[in-house]
Amino acid sequence: MRKAEIVRKTEETDVKVKIDIDAKSVEENKVDTGVGFLDHMLKLLMKNAGIGCDISARGDTYVDFHHTTEDVGITLGQAISKALGERKGITRYSSVTIPMDESLVMTALDISGRGALYTDVTFPTEKIGDFDTQLVEEFFDAFAKNAGFTLHIRQLSGRNSHHLAECCFKSVGRAVREAVSPDKRFPDAIPSTKGTLTK
């Protein structure tokens, strides 16, 4: 079973992430980071990824939401990387385009082992409620680097910051779901001519 549990504790945050990539249901998913908007986005991400989770975090939110958002991205990325193991039998690649009302976002993903984020998303406002919109990129940057994902996120349209953020998280979730799915033709193969996807 592709499961993992990661704990990250620093002077700024205390994060615990438990995931099950092959969960039978995601209706019992738990997310509590102390940042309401981040909780909402993580629930969307994990439901669309089809990954069971229990994510909790406590951080120095009296400063701002930056450390908590980044450290949750780090820890979740590490958990997914650990759960995937040597990446044997996965589809590896995916590309999805997801609409959310007027917003449209394309995500392309390669479980390459070379974690990097390439994004072109412009939010029309600096905040969504009390959440800085620039933290969306911070989250995905930390997530991609620690998961070992080459992750491209492109905004095709969007005028509403909330819709656009939601579209990003749903799109990435769906891309993750496809890329981690078993390759039925080659269930025992690592999908790389190098023979490894962990470096």
Topology annotation, domain 3-180? Ribosomal Protein S5; domain 2 (3.30.230)
Tens of pLDDT, residue by residue over 102-114, are 999 999 999 989 9
What integer pLDDT is reported at residue 191 of this predicted model? 80
- Domain limits, the chain: 3-180
Q: Which of the four pLDDT bands, split at 50, 70 and 90, describes residue 189?
A: confident
Whether the CB-CB separation of 77 and 53 falls below 8 Å is answered with no
d(CA 133, CA 122): 9
What's the whole-model pTM score?
0.96
Residue 74 predicted with pLDDT over 90: yes
pLDDT in tens, 118-134: 999 999 999 999 999 99
Under DSSP, the state recorded for 166 is H
Read off the pLDDT of each residue in 37-59 and give the average, rounded to a whole number.
98
Is pLDDT at 178 greater than 70 in this prediction? yes
Residue 199: what pLDDT? 63
**Phi, psi at residue 68, to the nearest 5°?**
-65, -45
Model confidence at 197: pLDDT above 80: no
Provide Rg for the chain, Cα atoms. 16
Mean pLDDT score across all residues of the chain: 95
Answer yes or no: are the C-beta atoms of 33 and 115 closer than 8 Å: no
Q: How far is CA 140 from the centre of its chain?
A: 6
